[in-house]
């Protein structure tokens, strides 16, 4: 039997178990002066204030099986009499008051990675706990990691408390959330790997040599090994193999947008191109307004308002995947004080007729160019809309004047990307923003046809 020691050795410490969990387990027996997490070995070392406290821990858990976050852990005396140094291979971390002090920046490691985790996914997971300012993702030998900067330390503490050890998806993508020792994240590009939500005007791609800080060994954007594919999501190419070969270019765009897989709630197996929209306001809706909304999720072929049911309409999308996106993101959305119902139609297509509006060849269809980018920005209606192709000399006052009839505008931001004027407009409600998009997309300001989409930003 190992000689009694102030140092306790804990085995079977899974990635869901945090330092604080172990502290809470043994603190009833005395003060913990040092703690080392050996993550690579699923082990930990805790040094008590004296040998007597450590003996009390061992004696108690000899008769009681210790369990942390539903996992049985095993405790014994360590062969070390004193913890004095950090693990030289970086497998352990000495715990001191300075290192564990709460910080507004979190270091997040993602274990059991089956689904691709993007900046957007992380933002959805962490933003309910406070305003997220910046996210940077990167690869290390241990797996996928991210740095997430909140506006306040309190928000970061709340997020860590709520999310440590939790799975993003059922049975996988487990979060190990620790406080970072960084004071500020530097983000130079807004793309699928990094995002500064306080500065939406950042470019998406680098020009020349990157000045992005190197947060991970081997570079910030470590490439996956050749041939590596994320599991869990159906592979998009396989899903589209049964469709006409002309859609394979579309499938490649989807794969580029979603990292080789599909987002939660989207099966990718739907083949029905036509959706039925009901509970519309027949006095305020028309085919062009429906086009403006549904074209966010794919190209529109035809739209038909049902004359025998004035609050119903049929919308034929470019393919079944685009129809599924529209149903997924628009079901239950508010428009003109009515909650829309969006479902797949029993009609495979809309027959050409005098009362059917044709959009097959419309240059306003958004997915004829930059399809991957448009897929990436698909989301449910939000309070913030993004305006592009604006006149170069436009002012915020002119934009507000153009949109204010549709609701209360809370905030605006006018900026340039590659020399072209763009704007973010935040309304008081999602319904107001949806109405503005529906009514003002493809309208003209000073001979410029503006384009409007929903923004995934939480604030501007």
What pLDDT score was predicted for residue 254? 57
pLDDT value at position 75? Answer: 93
Q: Domain ends where: 377, 404, 427?
A: 377
For residue 18, how many C-alpha atoms fall within 13 Å in the half-sphere facing its CB?
20
Say if residue 355 is in the same domain as residue 388: no
Residue 224 has pLDDT above 50, yes or no: no
Shared domain check, 109 and 72: no
Tell me the average pLDDT of the chain.
80
Average pLDDT over residues 91-98: 38
Within 8 A by CB and 6+ apart from 441, the residues are: 292, 450, 451, 452
Mean pLDDT, residues 70-96 taken together: 65
pLDDT value for 95: 41
**Angle, helices 396-403/430-440, rounded to nearest 10 degrees:** 90
Ramachandran bin of 153, using left for φ above 0, alpha for ψ from -120 to 50, beta for the remaining angles:
alpha
Q: How many domains does the chain have?
A: 4
**371 and 391 together in one domain:** no
> What region, left, alpha or beta, does residue 310 occupy, with left being phi > 0 and alpha being psi -120 to 50 degrees?
alpha
Residues 117 and 190 in one domain: yes
pLDDT single digits (tens) 231-281: 333 333 333 333 333 333 444 455 545 555 566 677 777 888 999 999 999
Last residue of a domain, one of 377, 402, 418: 377
Q: Is the pLDDT of residue 32 over 50?
A: yes
Q: Is residue 239 part of a domain?
A: no
**Final residue of a structural domain among 172, 196, 220:** 196
Domain that holds residue 42: 7-77
Mean pLDDT of 375-402: 92
* pLDDT score of 213: 52
The model's confidence at residue 115, banded by pLDDT at 50, 70 and 90, is low
**pLDDT band per the 50, 70, 90 thresholds, residue 63:** confident
- Judge if 369 and 389 occupy the same domain: no
Residue entry with tokens 């501007």: 460
HSE-CB at 339 with a 13 A cutoff on CA atoms is 2
Shared-domain flag, residues 371 and 390 = no
- List the 143-150 sheet strands across, edge first: 167-169, 172-179, 105-111, 143-150, 132-140, 194-196
Report the candidate in 321, 113, 118 with the shortest Cα–Cα distance to residue 231.
113
Distance CA 277, CA 259 (A): 30
Question: pLDDT by residue (tens digit) across 286-325?
Answer: 999 999 999 999 999 999 999 899 999 999 999 888 999 9
Give domain status of residue 131, yes or no: yes
Please list, residue by residue across 262-287, b when 16 or more beta carbons sit within 10 angstroms of its beta carbon and e when fewer do.
bbeebebebebbbbbbeebeeeebeb
If asked whether residues 147 and 64 sit together in one domain, one would say no
Asked if residue 109 and residue 185 are part of one domain, the reply reads: yes
* 291 and 335 share one domain: yes
Residue among 202, 205, 200, 203 at smallest CA distance from 424: 200
Say which residue, 248 or 352, is predicted with more confidence. Answer: 352
In a domain, 218, yes or no: no
> Residues 288, 368: one domain?
yes
What pLDDT does residue 49 have? 84
Distance between CA 111 and CA 42 in Å, rounded? Answer: 13
pLDDT for residue 143: 67
Between residues 238 and 224, the one the model is more confident about? 238
Which of 129-138, 224-233, 364-373, 436-445 is the least confident region? 224-233
Asked if residue 150 belongs to a domain, the reply is yes
Q: What's the rounded Cα separation, in Å, for the pair 185 and 205?
A: 18
User: Lowest-pLDDT range, 163-172, 186-195, 272-281, 311-320?
Assistant: 163-172
- Do 112 and 181 lie in a common domain? yes
pLDDT at residue 215, as a whole number: 54
Question: 314 with 343, same domain?
Answer: yes
Q: Which residue has the higher pLDDT, 389 or 249?
A: 389
Residue 31 lies in a domain: yes
Establish if 89 belongs to a structural domain: no
Q: Are 158 and 132 in contact (CB under 8 A)?
A: no
* Percent of the chain's residues with pLDDT above 70: 80
**CATH number of domain containing 314:** 3.30.70.330
Kindly state whether residue 71 falls inside one of the protein's structural domains.
Answer: yes
* Torsion, CA 81, CA 83, CA 89, CA 92, rounded to 10: 110
Q: 124-156 pLDDT, tens per residue?
A: 889 988 999 999 988 765 568 899 999 999 999
pLDDT at 81: 87
pLDDT of 3 above 90: no
Distances (CA, A) of 247 to 250, 251, 269, 272, 347: 5, 6, 14, 14, 21
Residue 159 lies in a domain: yes
Model confidence at 98: pLDDT above 80: no
């Amino acid at each position: 039997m190992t000689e009694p020691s102030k140092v306790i050795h804990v085995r079977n410490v899974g990635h869901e178990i945090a330092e604080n969990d172990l502290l809470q387990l043994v603190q009833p027996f005395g003060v913990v002066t040092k703690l080392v997490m050996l993550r690579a070995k699923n082990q930990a070392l805790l040094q008590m204030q004296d040998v007597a406290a450590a003996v009390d821990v061992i004696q108690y858990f000899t008769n009681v099986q210790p369990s942390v976050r539903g996992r049985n852990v095993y405790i014994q005396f360590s062969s070390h009499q004193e913890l004095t140094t950090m693990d030289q291979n970086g497998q352990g971390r000495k715990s001191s008051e300075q290192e564990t002090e709460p910080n507004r920046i979190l270091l997040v490691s993602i274990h059991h990675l089956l689904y691709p985790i993007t900046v957007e996914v992380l933002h959805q997971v962490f933003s309910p706990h406070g305003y997220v300012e910046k996210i940077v993702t990167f690869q290390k030998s241990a797996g996928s990691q991210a740095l997430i900067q909140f506006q306040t330390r309190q928000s970061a503490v709340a997020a860590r408390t709520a999310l440590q050890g939790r799975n993003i998806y059922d049975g996988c993508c487990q979060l190990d959330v620790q406080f970072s020792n960084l004071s500020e994240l530097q983000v130079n590009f807004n793309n699928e790997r990094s995002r500064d939500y306080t500065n939406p005007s950042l470019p998406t791609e680098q020009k020349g040599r990157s000045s992005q800080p190197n947060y991970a060994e081997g570079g910030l954007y470590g490439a996956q090994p050749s041939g590596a594919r994320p599991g869990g999501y159906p592979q998009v190419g396989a899903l589209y193999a049964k469709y006409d070969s002309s859609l394979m270019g579309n499938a490649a765009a989807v794969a580029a947008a979603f990292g080789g897989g599909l987002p939660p709630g989207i099966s990718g197996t739907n083949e029905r191109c036509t959706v039925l929209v009901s509970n519309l306001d027949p006095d305020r809706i028309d085919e062009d307004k429906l086009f403006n909304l549904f074209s966010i999720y794919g190209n529109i072929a035809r739209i038909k308002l049902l004359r025998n049911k004035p609050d119903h309409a049929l919308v034929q999308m470019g393919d079944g995947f685009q129809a599924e996106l529209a149903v997924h993101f628009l079901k239950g959305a508010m428009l003109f004080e009515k909650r829309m119902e969006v479902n797949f139609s029993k009609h495979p297509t809309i027959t050409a007729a005098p009362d059917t509006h044709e959009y097959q060849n419309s240059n306003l269809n958004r997915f004829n160019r930059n399809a991957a980018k448009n897929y990436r920005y698909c989301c449910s209606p939000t309070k913030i809309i993004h305006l592009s192709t604006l006149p170069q000399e436009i002012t915020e006052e002119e934009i507000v004047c153009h949109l204010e009839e549709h609701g209360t505008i809370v905030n605006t931001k006018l900026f340039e990307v590659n020399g072209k004027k763009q704007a973010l407009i935040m309304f008081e409600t999602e319904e107001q923003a949806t109405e503005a998009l529906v009514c003002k997309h493809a309208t003209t300001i000073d001979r410029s046809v503006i384009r409007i989409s929903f923004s995934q930003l939480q604030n501007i």
